[in-house]
Structure 1
């Protein structure tokens, strides 16, 4: 994740490219605290064709809130887990509560979990790699036991993530959220049948390896997300992101892969519905 400038205004609403699902957002980090806030964010999103979102937890409080938000608005679904950098908070009590939350019918994925080798040593209190690995393995098992997709956060940790998946055995459905690796990792994931979710970073002109990787993803294994309030697409990089900005990313991705934005929207919408069991 990257920071959000509080000095920049929200981007203007884009034109719709057709119905979309935001496969990964953080409604609480976007400033939503209650049902009215959630409704307002989803109303802005729906006005440009984003008909549903999956709001993601990164700690236990966020997991509780995400499940509540999914009950407040029928356009909201949730994913629950502890973010890799917070893996050192995965106590026995936290595991027990996450198991209960994961069973909620509007929780459609276990995430975001995985490995982050960028922050250890830079961020106070960040979980060490060994703690991250243990927590990731536990979340892999939870995904398999619940039958829900595993949503992976992978930052500077391609080999470590693949090693855990090989050792533990990957669940039936695996999503690499905000895929940011290069072509080699993309080929590995595609060959394994995993889904790759692309965010506003695909619109960044300096993201050469990611943009090359995007061309290797079959239409049936592609999702799109905002990761809001982070990773706002070009030309609004640094401004607050929100689910209504998703068409900007879809247009940028369509340009990279040489397909129409309408086709990319339709393909990713179908994939999100199938993957998450969303009927909106």
Structure 2
């Protein structure tokens, strides 16, 4: 079935030109469906991604159903590693329902899986959570940071309208060795601060948007050895597909745009993204990364 007829809004009929060196989609939600879309077929999503040189995915589950989906996906598909956490907007909801402690227990038990290499996405989201939920959301962020350090996993951070508090809490708690700002949304000054601290910055389709000049400026401040790329699918499809349902096979569009901003040839950027991904998450085989590597 062609992507244009798959029940996913606006996906292009034609795949982008394949990348010259295989890369990783650092953050994808194969369990999430936008309203009006059909669910992703995981085998088809992997096949189409592989056709364009996106051979490895990090599937991120950020509620209990998504975590359970992620555990099944990483056991069924060698191309997928897992990231799991309670999303910053999920933490206040569970706290209000009186079920947060039970949810934390399930996250911690699930995170012990060898192919779960990421605690995340965790962090802060002040766009959807009002003032009454901020304290418990910050506590949740601290809990996930501690879990990542105890288990020796990478940390992926969601940061929406909360830059200062995200950086403050990471400083107070002490960030894990491998810390990734997922879908980086900060400015040049924040990018420089993150680089100084040794964090990795992951760029999504937003870096291609016409009004994202500040984000492109931020990208120029990131050393090649700290850059990752992602879709955040089904969201944030890159230009010229903005507004469509996103998919991992659109990573080449974002990679080529980033290479242009950085004045790099595409193979050089692809090689860096691939090497950085395996430095953070380990090989997509059975061996997790060694802390201190």
| TM superposition score normalised by structure 2 | 0.88
Name the CA distance, whole Å, in 1 between partners of 2:226 and 2:8. 37
Quote how far apart the aligned CAs of 1:120 are. Answer: 2.2
Q: Is 2:115 the partner of 1:96?
A: no
Give the match's secondary structure for 1:232. coil
Structure 1 residues 135, 32: CA separation in 2 closer, same or farther (over 3 Å shift)? farther
State the partner residue of 2:180.
175
Name the CA distance, whole Å, in 1 between partners of 2:55 and 2:270. 12
Quote how far apart the aligned CAs of 1:9 are. Answer: 2.6
Name the CA distance, whole Å, in 2 between partners of 1:204 and 1:221. 22
Name the CA distance, whole Å, in 1 between partners of 2:146 and 2:257. 36
Name the CA distance, whole Å, in 1 between partners of 2:283 and 2:158. 22
Q: Is 2:222 the partner of 1:217?
A: yes
State the partner residue of 1:205.
210
Of residues 169, 190, 194, the one that matches 2:195 is 190
State the partner residue of 1:46.
50
Name the CA distance, whole Å, in 1 between partners of 2:31 and 2:263. 34
State the partner residue of 1:142.
147
Quote how far apart the aligned CAs of 1:227 are. Answer: 0.4
| TM superposition score normalised by structure 1 | 0.92
Of residues 46, 71, 76, the one that matches 2:75 is 71
For the 8 Å contact 1:179–1:198, the answer to whether it is kept is: yes
Give the match's secondary structure for 2:89. helix
Let me know the Cα RMSD of the aligned residues: 1.7
Quote how far apart the aligned CAs of 1:172 are. Answer: 1.2
Name the CA distance, whole Å, in 1 between partners of 2:249 and 2:38. 14
Structure 1 residues 111, 32: CA separation in 2 closer, same or farther (over 3 Å shift)? farther
Of residues 130, 138, 142, the one that matches 2:135 is 130
Name the CA distance, whole Å, in 1 between partners of 2:110 and 2:215. 34
Quote how far apart the aligned CAs of 1:127 are. Answer: 7.5
User: Can you give the 5+ residue segments of structure 1 that lack an aligned partner in the other structure?
Assistant: 1-5
Structure 1 residues 62, 253: CA separation in 2 closer, same or farther (over 3 Å shift)? same
Quote how far apart the aligned CAs of 1:7 are. Answer: 8.0
User: Can you give the 5+ residue segments of structure 2 that lack an aligned partner in the other structure?
Assistant: 1-6, 286-293
State the partner residue of 1:105.
114
Of residues 6, 22, 31, the one that matches 1:19 is 22
Query: What number of residue pairs does the alignment pair up?
Result: 269
State the partner residue of 1:116.
125
Quote how far apart the aligned CAs of 1:52 are. Answer: 0.7
Large movers: runs of 4+ above 4 Å: 30-34
Name the CA distance, whole Å, in 2 between partners of 1:32 and 1:267. 34
